[in-house]
Chains A and B, each alone.
Chain A
Amino acid sequence: DTGVSQNPRHKITKRGQNVTFRCDPISEHNRLYWYRQTLGQGPEFLTYFQNEAQLEKSRLLSDRFSAERPKGSFSTLEIQRTEQGDSAMYLCASSSSRTASSTEAFFGQGTRLTVV
């Protein structure tokens, strides 16, 4: 595997349910990012990990959202008590700190969440 993998690709859930998404980054990458994207907009940054440490969280990340990267490898993003406004594409990306001066990162295909 040479790319970032996200699962599931699609998720339909009822309002109020909890959902969890998984991201497997490129194996040698120590940085991992989560984004949310809605139609017609660029990806919006949600949170960032370096190894297992969550170093930055956007104000967009309400207390219903939580992300983990327990062993510095894969990551999960959980949304509790989903709302219709959470419907979006959730993207994961990874990069290496060896490319420190650039914003080069590799993105997964995303998880499309629909809250009904």
Chain B
Amino acid sequence: LAKTTQPISMDSYEGQEVNITCSHNNIATNDYITWYQQFPSQGPRFIIQGYKTKVTNEVASLFIPADRKSSTLSLPRVSLSDTAVYYCLKPRGGSYIPTFGRGTSLIVHP
């Protein structure tokens, strides 16, 4: 069964950089890694995806090493509004149905 592993929770403070690492040992050659953010009582929101090396957008950066067995979501200078659950996804088998684990609950403190 395709699976990703990430910490259940993390705490940070406003202004700090937060890095959330996800392990995905059995990633297939063509698979992208996708990250979502979810606020309470809202649907998940796609924030970034990557295949290898580094991808950056206005929200976050995603680092994927050469072996692609892990990825790290980096949130620069977090604010209270970044408090959310962050999910790391990869396709499962031959299906590209988004499949979620429990995610990482990030709490940003003042």
Interface positions of A (Cβ within 8 A of B) = 4, 33, 35, 40-45, 48, 56, 89, 91, 93, 95, 99-110, 112
Contact = CB atoms under 8 A, between A and B. Distances in A.
B45 interface: yes
A45 B97 contact: yes
Contact of A45 (B31, B85, B99): B99
| Secondary structure call for the B interface | loop
Contact of A105 (B30, B32, B46): B46
Q: Which of A33, A93, A107, A110 has the most CB of B within 10 A?
A: A107
Given A45-B100, A91-B44, 9 more contacts: A4-B43, A35-B100, A45-B99, A102-B91, A103-B96, A105-B98, A106-B46, A108-B43, A110-B41
Interface of B: 30-32, 34, 41-46, 49, 85, 87, 89-91, 95-103
A44 B99 CA distance: 7
A103 B102 contact: no
B76 to A, nearest CB: 22
A101 B103 CA distance: 21
Nearest 5 A/B pairs, CB to CB: A107-B43, A42-B100, A102-B32, A103-B98, A103-B34
Contacts of A35: 100
B17 to A, nearest CB: 25
17 contacts: A33-B97, A41-B102, A42-B87, A42-B103, A43-B98, A45-B99, A56-B97, A93-B43, A95-B98, A100-B96, A102-B31, A102-B91, A102-B96, A103-B32, A103-B99, A105-B46, A112-B41
